[in-house]
Amino acid sequence: MNRNRLFTQRHPTVLFVDMNSFFASCEQQDNYWLRGRPVGVCVYTGRNGCVIAPSIEAKLRGVKTGMRLDQAIVLCPELVPIETHPGRYREYHVKIIDVLRTFSDDVVPKSIDEAVVDLTNYQLVYKDMSQTAVAIKQAIRQKVGDWLRCSIGIAPNVFLAKLASNVQKPDGLTIITPDTIDSVLQTLTLTDLPGIGHRMAARLEAGGVRTPLELRYATPDHLRAVCKSIIGWHWHIRLNFGGEVDLDTSPDNKSMSAMRTISQEQRSTPERLDELLQSLCLTLERRMVQKGVFCQDMSFSCRYHNGKTYNYEARFNEPKQDGPELYGIIKERLEKFQLAHRCEPVLNEHLRSMCVAVFRFIPAEVVPLSLFENDDRKGKFRQTLYDLKAKFGTDKLVRATELRDNPVYKDVIGFGNIKDL
């Protein structure tokens, strides 16, 4: 469903709920000993591990997301490294969304730790949006976890509400209205605005738009010309209360991707890299089975520590869903590339990350059957396999190709990965 709307909306009726240091707070919620201590959640806790989520206490000591673990410990010797528990964070996410839906039916999860509560149609119910935000904070602490904190931004649209949620952390509450927006924007830079990275900022600056205030007061035609797309018009709408352009709530996936940054231990042998590639393909298989779709296109990409990249795209004559089949297609392509160019293997010790993506989906029920293979039986097998995994646990029933003494691939969850929930 698309809840976007193009009409003047000046009343602050949209709440953006941003859970503070979510992964680390979930760990502290479940482990009383961790409360008040600087915690760094990592996928791996080895020397070269990466802190993917520092706690509030760790942030105050200078630890940042993406910092290497050995560097973080030098900066904060009392840091407690904790391996990530994705299942725990998913459970808390679902509980928080359930609480938010007691306030409004119009709740849109934006990521694992963020959600929009649209109260535009509830103005007769909630007379004071600030009091409602305080009530939401209290409900989360009482019904989900007493150690969980959130910052809430209130504004006439999602973009400004998200911007407001970033103004005061942790446990903040900020309102942006037509009367206060200029005072908020004049304290920020372009890259402080959600959705504007360094490249977009450089493009705007080249077009004479150097600050958020200048962005707000630029004409829509000028912004559209500078951005070379409809995005410029969207910026004008967001900053001038012209409606809502960020509430497309369609659950459909336009693409699915599985990506991993590779540790030194993982790239130590070709076998480990090969195992990781196979696991990425099986992850996409699981997601496609759960969504009931087949893909018609696939891409594979690698990044290396020297900045170089490798990219490969394939379009299938027959739609695919089988993970081992995707893996076989990629492996065949990599071997042909190596033979044709007489170069070192694509999967080598210099690899920094790899990503497999699938897109152009069609529903499983309209996939044409092959005259020579019993695809229907394979499809039922995959569906049964993941139904059993969901019921009894992911490790209770596995393919022979998934059996490992020391699996290289761990279950992790990205902050934006919520469509499976």
Which spans in 110-259 are helix H? 129-143, 158-165, 181-185, 198-206, 212-217, 220-227, 231-239
Judge whether 263 and 44 are in contact, CB under 8 Å: yes
End-to-end CA distance of the chain: 17
d(CA 340, CA 375): 33
Nearest to 165 by CA among 133, 143, 198: 133
| Structure token digits, residue 160 | 């400004």
CB atoms within 10 A of CB 180: 14
Residue 244 among the catalytic residues: no
b/e 372-397 (16+ beta carbons within 10 angstroms → b): eeebeeebeebeebbeeeeeeeeeee
Half-sphere exposure of 29 (CA within 13 A, CB side): 22
| Structure token digits, residue 415 | 């902050």
| 3-state secondary structure (DSSP) of residue 157 | coil
Please identify which of the residues 114, 244, 275, 285 carries the catalytic annotation.
114
Nearest to 349 by CA among 266, 261, 274, 284: 266
| Torsion 212-216-217-220 (CA) sign | positive
Which positions are catalytic?
Answer: 114
